[in-house]
Amino acid sequence: MAAKQQKKNAFYAQSGGVTAVINASAAGVIETARASKDRIGRVYAGRNGIIGALTEDLIDTTKESAAAIAQLRYTPSGAFGSCRYKLKSLDANRREYERLIEVFKAHDIGYFFYNGGGDSADTCFKVSQLSESMGYPIQAIHVPKTVDNDLPITDCCPGFGSVAKYVAVSTLEASFDVRSMAKTSTKVFVIEVMGRHAGWIAAAGGLVEDHGIPVVVLFPEIEFDEKKFIARVDALVKKNGYCSVVVSEGCHYPDGRFLAEQGTKDAFGHAQLGGAAPIVADMVRRELKLKFHWAVADYLQRAARHIASKTDAKQAYELGAAAVKLALKGRNAVMPTVDRVSDAPYKYRIGVAALSEVANKEKFMPRDFITADGFGITEKCKRYLRPLIQGEDYPKYGKDGMPLYATLKNVAVEKKLPAFELK
Amino acid sequence: MAAKQQKKNAFYAQSGGVTAVINASAAGVIETARASKDRIGRVYAGRNGIIGALTEDLIDTTKESAAAIAQLRYTPSGAFGSCRYKLKSLDANRREYERLIEVFKAHDIGYFFYNGGGDSADTCFKVSQLSESMGYPIQAIHVPKTVDNDLPITDCCPGFGSVAKYVAVSTLEASFDVRSMAKTSTKVFVIEVMGRHAGWIAAAGGLVEDHGIPVVVLFPEIEFDEKKFIARVDALVKKNGYCSVVVSEGCHYPDGRFLAEQGTKDAFGHAQLGGAAPIVADMVRRELKLKFHWAVADYLQRAARHIASKTDAKQAYELGAAAVKLALKGRNAVMPTVDRVSDAPYKYRIGVAALSEVANKEKFMPRDFITADGFGITEKCKRYLRPLIQGEDYPKYGKDGMPLYATLKNVAVEKKLPAFELK
């Protein structure tokens, strides 16, 4: 018989841009670990992601009540703080890895759960190699998270379904508005959405077509052609009296320049920090003389827990829980995934991927998800998207009409090591 | 005994910028009229507001099922189309008034329900004078609607409570996001909101203070002072690590110039159509070297039926219903109002105001609703706002994860008159 596995503490951290449901993954990790007290001691969270590990700024999650952890399922943002900080390679910054091991040793940490996107998968992969490269026994499991939906292997990423629901619902609502106003006023509405180099979020705006809305989607995957774009808007407005435009922040010209980079200067000669939406709206004004409105959803879209997708919130929790179960099975250097079984009815299984296959790879919209003209989504894409925005999962609201979101105590664990300076 | 009042048809139109709940007022008008079949014949809606009356483009609402009208309570935008079109004075454009009377006569219209804001109240008031000035017996009742909340006499305006809820919830969610990111990334989040010359919508963003969020609100009622603003942001970020800024589109310098009017030019020398948010964000970057994000909610905020205030949706319906009841009581040139009785528990009555007192008057934020430093809201203001965003009133969602919003048949009434050209 195998010897009883030694009880170890766990480290959990949130990384990169936060989402409406990353805290649901945190709840999945913490609640599953709490249910496995024979194998996992305390869950320490990094205050502000991996920086918390490097600076020994650990949060003792055992100080949070079961109710507070449960409330995380309904709380957007990163409850422990996140960061944008990518570990260099072992050769380039051995000092940081040695420090991580010191901190793990000092706090008896044997499990490393890292909740993030592509860059974070890379960090998690590097940590997973510490057993081999530096002889410290650690199991590192990545919990996927990104509104951009650009991680490979997994069918979708927690965070995406909720931002997709927000964008689809908001575009539908604003399009109804424009339709009402078009006779004497606004005829074109432009909404800018996130997604970096991937058009998944913009694609969600294309779902309004099923509700009778004429819409043009501008993807990062399709090189922007102003003439074709203007012709498309012109045709839709002539036919319908109005149209909506969903533009991805990553939309760019053939030479790689983003739409937002127009070399514009303010009155003082400073570069103007634009968005893509005002640029696109101004093209419509200039070329078609049509009245327009534009919106930039920015953080509103990824923080909109009030209209989160139930599918997304559920998967975020399940993947957090699955990460702990993988650790308990002795796995290292892996990430739990969503493996789709069928579109309608929507069925999926939780699978597993090797981090070596995940790190530093981006998944873009397949060409057959985009219509031939490059301005819309195909039925195949809609079949992919629809289940991901299914279901509502409302937070509770207080008497003041505001959602009840958790703010944790975030009690610090006593430090045992000398200070460490981030470089 | 008085002779039985003659049965007449009613005209209903939506005017100006639409809202998340103006269709709830339409439902109130139509359902109440349907319940008064002995006195009111058909309700004809103007296609695209008053333009529908002038061009005899009437919609026969009797062709819509009871279910479709009931669904209007949950549908944002203007179901019959709206317009921005202000009738001139009787002296300046007698031709239009004569045309209105022709159309009213041709379709036996005795009731005129006009659903709009300040400009529309003026139009409604002019129509209400037609009995006296031109001898045509009409009763004109204004149904208040404006997200700007700037109509006088009524305690609040349908449309405002829902946009206030959207702005308060969205600012809270985005602020949680910034709080998560502030250690290594974004420290200041700027959201631009509507409201024209009145700061009511921006004030709603100030409610996040009750949830521990450091926030600066920029009102149109307070002349913008860049130095003071930057000092305030600096102090909040130094204390909390981050802050949010809610800027009203109407925010302006002492000389009246809007923040958005910076005289910026694009690469082609065209005036750049900015929003106030990117301008404010750029000040923060320039003066404080802090990383920022900005959002412009634009139509998203006023169309956001998915997070409508229950109080607001209820009042919108009640004021539509009250307008019909006032008409049945023989009233003319009036507008039903919300008269607040108490803040907590929130109690109100439906009252009535003379249109002569309403038309062309704007109600701004009282100075004692704004903190002494000009950057926040007082407890008095919070007491005013809280009940208006209370309660959720979710639409139903379809299997595709999208809200079920009504699109009406909007069947045209057969024309009886020669065409009329709008000038």
B294 touches chain A (CB under 8 A): yes
> In terms of Cα–Cα distance, which of A97, A269, A301, A146 is closest to B191?
A301
pLDDT given at position B266:
45
Identify whether B334 is part of a domain: no
**Active-site entry in A148, A155, A312, A393:** A148
B21/B26 Cα distance (integer angstroms): 9
Chain B hits for A51, Cβ within 8 Å:
183-184
B395/B307 Cα distance (integer angstroms): 9
How many residues in chain A?
Answer: 423
Residue A185 Cα, gap to closest chain B Cα (Å): 7
Q: Please compute Rg for chain A using Cα positions.
A: 23
A270 touches chain B (CB under 8 A): yes
B396 touches chain A (CB under 8 A): no
pLDDT given at position B75:
98
| A266 contacts B260 by C-beta, under 8 angstroms | no
A200/A160 Cα distance (integer angstroms): 8
pLDDT given at position B131:
81
Read off the pLDDT of residues A198-213 as tens digits, 9 standing for 90 and up. 999 999 999 999 999 9
B204/B164 Cα distance (integer angstroms): 5
Number of compact structural domains in chain B:
1
Among all residues of chain B, which has the CA nearest to that of A187?
Answer: B83
User: Residue A3 — pLDDT band, cuts 50, 70, 90?
Assistant: very low
A200/A313 Cα distance (integer angstroms): 18
How many residues in chain B?
Answer: 423
Chain-chain contact of A75 with B176 (C-beta, under 8 angstroms): yes
Read off the pLDDT of residues A140-167 as tens digits, 9 standing for 90 and up. 999 999 999 999 999 999 999 999 999 9
A98/A88 Cα distance (integer angstroms): 13
State the CB neighbour count (10 A cutoff) for residue B98. 15
A82 touches chain B (CB under 8 A): yes
Among all residues of chain B, which has the CA nearest to that of A286?
Answer: B270
B320/B14 Cα distance (integer angstroms): 12
Chain-chain contact of A169 with B403 (C-beta, under 8 angstroms): yes
Chain-chain contact of B48 with A184 (C-beta, under 8 angstroms): yes
B21 touches chain A (CB under 8 A): no
Chain-chain contact of A211 with B386 (C-beta, under 8 angstroms): no
Q: Which of B207, B300, B404 would best serve as a mutation to test chain A binding (most A beta carbons within 10 A)?
A: B300
A358/B391 Cα distance (integer angstroms): 44
Identify whether A414 is part of a domain: no
Identify whether B186 is part of a domain: yes
B346 touches chain A (CB under 8 A): no
Identify whether A199 is part of a domain: yes
Identify whether A49 is part of a domain: no
- Whether residue A129 is predicted with pLDDT greater than 70 in this model: the reply is yes
Structure tokens that stand for A96 in this block: 């940081």
pLDDT given at position A46:
98
A369/A164 Cα distance (integer angstroms): 15
Read off the pLDDT of residues A371-390 as tens digits, 9 standing for 90 and up. 999 999 999 999 999 999 99
| CATH classification at residue A175 | 3.40.50.460
User: Residue A263 — pLDDT band, cuts 50, 70, 90?
Assistant: low
Q: Which of A120, A213, A298 would best serve as a mutation to test chain B binding (most B beta carbons within 10 A)?
A: A298
Among all residues of chain A, which has the CA nearest to that of B389?
Answer: A401
Q: Which residue has the tokens 């005289």?
A: B263
| A247 contacts A281 by C-beta, under 8 angstroms | no
- Whether residue A357 is predicted with pLDDT greater than 50 in this model: the reply is yes
- Residue range A261-268: average pLDDT? 54
Residue A192 Cα, gap to closest chain B Cα (Å): 10
Identify whether B87 is part of a domain: no
Ranges of chain B with pLDDT below 70 = 1-5, 262-274
B189 touches chain A (CB under 8 A): yes
B76 touches chain A (CB under 8 A): yes
Residue B266 Cα, gap to closest chain A Cα (Å): 5
Q: How many CB pairs under 8 A join A and B?
A: 260
**Across the interface, which of B189, B281, B295 has its CB nearest the CB of A273?**
B281
Percentage of residues of chain A with pLDDT beyond 70:
96
- Whether residue A360 is predicted with pLDDT greater than 90 in this model: the reply is no
Q: Which of B290, B292, B385, B400 would best serve as a mutation to test chain A binding (most A beta carbons within 10 A)?
A: B400
Q: A residues 202-261 near B, CB within 8 Å?
A: 207, 210-212
For A155-255, strand residue ranges (E) read 188-193, 215-218, 243-248
pLDDT given at position A274:
61
A274 touches chain B (CB under 8 A): yes
pLDDT given at position A272:
46
- Whether residue A351 is predicted with pLDDT greater than 80 in this model: the reply is yes
B395 touches chain A (CB under 8 A): no
Structural domain boundaries, residue A197:
160-303
pLDDT given at position B89:
87
Among all residues of chain A, which has the CA nearest to that of B81?
Answer: A180
Chain-chain contact of B18 with A181 (C-beta, under 8 angstroms): yes
Q: B residues 194-213 near A, CB within 8 Å?
A: 207, 210-212
Q: Which residue has the tokens 């320039």?
A: B286
- Residue range A273-283: average pLDDT? 86
- Whether residue A1 is predicted with pLDDT greater than 50 in this model: the reply is no
CA distances, B50 to each of A12, B266, B316 (Å):
60, 38, 20
- Residue range A413-421: average pLDDT? 97
> In terms of Cα–Cα distance, which of B188, B189, B175, B219 is closest to B201?
B219
Residue A35 Cα, gap to closest chain B Cα (Å): 27
A379 touches chain B (CB under 8 A): no
Chain A hits for B59, Cβ within 8 Å:
none
Chain-chain contact of B401 with A391 (C-beta, under 8 angstroms): yes
Identify whether A183 is part of a domain: yes
**Across the interface, which of B286, B296, B394 has its CB nearest the CB of A296?**
B296
Identify whether B272 is part of a domain: yes
Query: Is the ipTM reported for this complex over the cut 0.85?
Result: yes
Read off the pLDDT of residues A57-95 as tens digits, 9 standing for 90 and up. 999 999 999 999 999 999 999 999 999 988 888 888 899
Instruction: List, in sequence order, every residue forming a beta bridge with B399; answer none if it has no partner.
Output: none
Hey, which residues of B are catalytic here? Answer: 148
Chain-chain contact of B174 with A300 (C-beta, under 8 angstroms): yes
Chain-chain contact of B397 with A400 (C-beta, under 8 angstroms): no
Q: Which residue has the tokens 């490979």?
A: A152
